[in-house]
Amino acid sequence: MISVGGININLLEKQAGTIAAADQKRSYERHWTPIHFDFGVDDVVATAALVQKHGGTVEGEVSSDFAPCVDPFGNGFCLVGN
């Protein structure tokens, strides 16, 4: 665990080929690293708008508790409501 500014960040390695969500297997063809970040935020909708404003993309539907995103370099991350 890494603590920065009162925020705890847990890094978990997940091997390629293991089950991700539902029956999908993890593949790192798109991402160069097996690390995936979920950021806990107070307002998912507003933060998703900021992601887009600063060059990122929202992939899929945004809800009040979840938004799948991609940074300008193609690395995926999720916004998760606190």
Structure confidence at residue 33 (pLDDT)? 63
Sheet strands (E) in the chain:
2-4, 7-9, 37-41, 57-58, 66-70, 76-81
The token duo for 41 is 């935020």
Structure confidence at residue 60 (pLDDT)? 86
Structure confidence at residue 30 (pLDDT)? 64
Structure confidence at residue 53 (pLDDT)? 96
pLDDT averaged over 10-residue windows placed end to end, the chain, 82 residues: 75 77 72 74 94 93 92 86 88
Domains and CATH numbers, the chain: 2-81 (3.30.720.120)
CB-CB contact of 67 with 77 (8 Å): no
Q: What is the model's pTM? A: 0.66
